[in-house]
Amino acid sequence: MDIKLQQVAYAYAQGTPFEKRALFDVNLAITSGTYQAIIGHTGSGKSTVLQHFNALLRPTAGQVVLGSRVIEAGKKQKNLKEVRQKVGIVFQFPEHQLFEETVLKDIMFGPMNFGVSAEQAEKRARELITLVGLPDSVLEKSPFDLSGGQMRRVAIAGVLAMQPDVIVLDEPTAGLDPRGQREIMDMFYALHKERGLTTILVTHSMEDAARYADEIAIMHEGRCVLSGTPTALFSDVERLRQYRLEVPRLVAFQHKIEQLIGQKFPELSLTEEQFAKQLAAITKAGERL
C-alpha cells in the first residue's frame, strides 16, 4: 500500500487558546514494500506523523493518501475501520494496551474487531505467539502475570494478528534488554521480507535505521527536512548534526579508522558484516604491499 503525505500540517487543540502546532508542511512518499525509517530529535513531530498513517489524527491542512483512500483536511471521514485494518500501529510501550483475561483473548481482540471469526483469530494467535518468541503455554495466562518483555511481545502479536499490509512501529524496543531488542527487530525485518509488508519505523536509534531501512526520513521541528537512503544520509555528518542527530556508531567508527589509516573504505558500513568485510579486505591488501 502506497502512503503519501502531502503538505500535511497538524495542530493540537485547534481553535482553542491552547492550540499547539506540531507539524508544518510535511511531505513524504512511501512506496509499497519499502522499509521506511523516520528519525528525529525528541519533539520533532515523529509521533504526530505516525498517527496520521491510520487516520487516528487527521491533518488540519493538506492530505494523507493511504492506498486508495484520501484523508483530506476538514472533511468528515467515515468508516475508517478499513484503513485501520490495513495499517497496524505498534505504539510505544504497547504492553499498556493489554486488557483481556488471557493472552489468547487479547491477541484475538484486534482481528475479531475486524470481523475475523473466532476460530480464525485463534489460529492466528497460536501462530503468532511462536513467531514473537513465546511458548504456547502463555496463551492461557493472564497478560498481567507476564514479565514486561513478554507483555511487549504479546502486544506486538496482538497488532500482527490483524494481518495489516503496513506496520508502523513507534520505538518498538524501548526498554527491552539488548538481546530482546535485536530479536524483535529481526523478527519485524523477517516479516517485512516474507510478506512484502510496508514497514515504517519511528526511532531514535540510528543503528536500527541504518541496519534495516531502505529509506530514511528526518523530522526536525515539525517538518520533514531530509530523506534518502541510509548511505546517502549518513555520509553527511555535518548535516545530521544540524538536526541534533548523530551518525550510527559503526559509521562514526569507520570514519575514525579511515582517518587513522588515511584510506577511505569503498562504501559506508551499515551493518557489522559489511564493516568487517571491508576492513578485512583493506588489511589483506595492506599485507600484500
Partner 1 sequence: MMEKMIFGRFIPGESFVHKLDPRAKLLFVFAFIVIVFIANNALTYGLLVAFTLVVILMSRIKPYFLINGLKPVLFLMIFTFLIHILFTKEGDLLFELGFVKVYEEGLRQGIFISLRFLVLVFMTTILTLTTSPISITDGLEVLLNPLKKVKFPVHELALMMSIALRFIPTLMDETDKIMKAQMARGSDLSAGSLKDRIKAVVPLLVPLFVSAFKRAEDLATAMEVRGYKGGEGRTRYRQLKWQLKDTLILVFLVVFAAGLWMLRG
In the complex, the residues that contact partner 1 under the rule CB under 8 A are: 12-13, 16-18, 51, 54, 56, 81, 84-85, 87-89, 91, 94, 96-99, 109-110, 113-114, 144, 158-159, 162
The distance of Cα 122 from the centroid of its chain, to the nearest Å, equals: 26
10 Å CB burial of residue 221 (0-12, 13-18, 19+) is middle
User: Which of 163, 173, 160 is CA-nearest to residue 131?
Assistant: 160
Query: Least Å distance between CB 225 and partner 1?
Result: 26
Query: Least Å distance between CB 278 and partner 1?
Result: 41
Q: Quick one: 99 or 272, whose CB is closer to partner 1?
A: 99
User: What is d(CA 42, CA 25) in angstroms, rounded to the nearest whole number?
Assistant: 19
Q: Quick one: 1 or 270, whose CB is closer to partner 1?
A: 1
User: What is d(CA 226, CA 90) in angstroms, rounded to the nearest whole number?
Assistant: 24
Integer angstrom CA distances of residue 96 from 38, 140, 156, 188: 23, 19, 11, 20
Query: Least Å distance between CB 257 and partner 1?
Result: 43
Query: Least Å distance between CB 16 and partner 1?
Result: 6
Buried/exposed code over 21-59 (b: 16+ C-beta within 10 A; e: otherwise): ebbbebebebeebbbbbbbbeeebbbbbbbbbbbbebbb
Q: Quick one: 39 or 107, whose CB is closer to partner 1?
A: 107
Q: Quick one: 87 or 202, whose CB is closer to partner 1?
A: 87
Q: Quick one: 101 or 127, whose CB is closer to partner 1?
A: 101
CA dihedral (68, 72, 76, 79) in degrees, to 10, reads: 20
Neighbours of 136 (CB within 10 A): 10
Q: Quick one: 159 or 219, whose CB is closer to partner 1?
A: 159
Query: Least Å distance between CB 4 and partner 1?
Result: 20
Query: Least Å distance between CB 85 and partner 1?
Result: 6
